[in-house]
Amino acid sequence: MTSARENSHGNGAGLPRVPSIPLSDDANAAADQSIGGLVKDATAHLSTLVRGEFELARSEIAKEVKKGLTGSVFFVVALVLLLLFIPFGLVALSLGFNDMWDFENHPWFGFLLVFGAAFLGAGALAWLGWRRFKKIQAPHRTIDSAKSTVAALRRNGDGEPDQLERRL
């Protein structure tokens, strides 16, 4: 028999069993217990529920992280292959410029054109990156909040320094 959670997320394979709260239809058993016993049972059941939900979330997240890592490995391999084959493309482009504009006497000129275009492109990207870095600011709200928290902890309710600050 499968639970509703297993039906909604596949067959539940790979997920550990989590503790569950025993439910009963016996109303007389609840009536015989004292208030303290009922509160104790309720807190125990709530604790079990929270632990179970936490364990379920942890196992599902771990499974999804593994999928993400596997996918990122494929992206890294694709990027490495791309980076390895970029020089072949640049050489082909340079030789194509030499053939297109008849630079037979100066075969280096096609390579110089490709180098110049790559240099200008890299310079433009570096300039854009520098502009973005110049816009980075300190986290002013966080700094102000931390300063006010420290100031509040150093003073007691009547505005006087507490004993810890007096010792410093």
pLDDT tens for each residue of 42-93? 888 888 888 988 898 899 999 999 999 999 999 999 999 999 999 999 999 9
Is residue 156's pLDDT more than 90? Answer: no
pLDDT of residue 28: 56
Residue keyed to tokens 């816009």: 135
Boundaries of every domain in the chain: 4-136
What pLDDT shows up at residue 1? 41
Q: What is the structure's pLDDT at 11?
A: 53
What digits encode the pLDDT tens for the residues 2-35? 444 444 445 556 656 656 665 555 555 555 678 8
The pTM of the full predicted model, rounded to 2 decimals, is 0.49
Give the span between the Cα atoms of 139 and 122, in whole angstroms.
30
pLDDT at 37 (0 to 100): 86
Q: Is the pLDDT of residue 138 over 80?
A: yes
110 and 97 Cβ atoms separated by less than 8 Å:
yes
Higher-confidence position of 152 and 70: 70
115 vs 138, more confident: 115
| Residues 103, 95: Cα–Cα separation, whole Å | 9
Q: Is the pLDDT of residue 129 over 70?
A: yes
Q: Quick check: 36 pLDDT over 70?
A: yes
pLDDT band at 153, cuts 50/70/90?
A: confident
* Dist CA 45 CA 126 (whole Å): 58
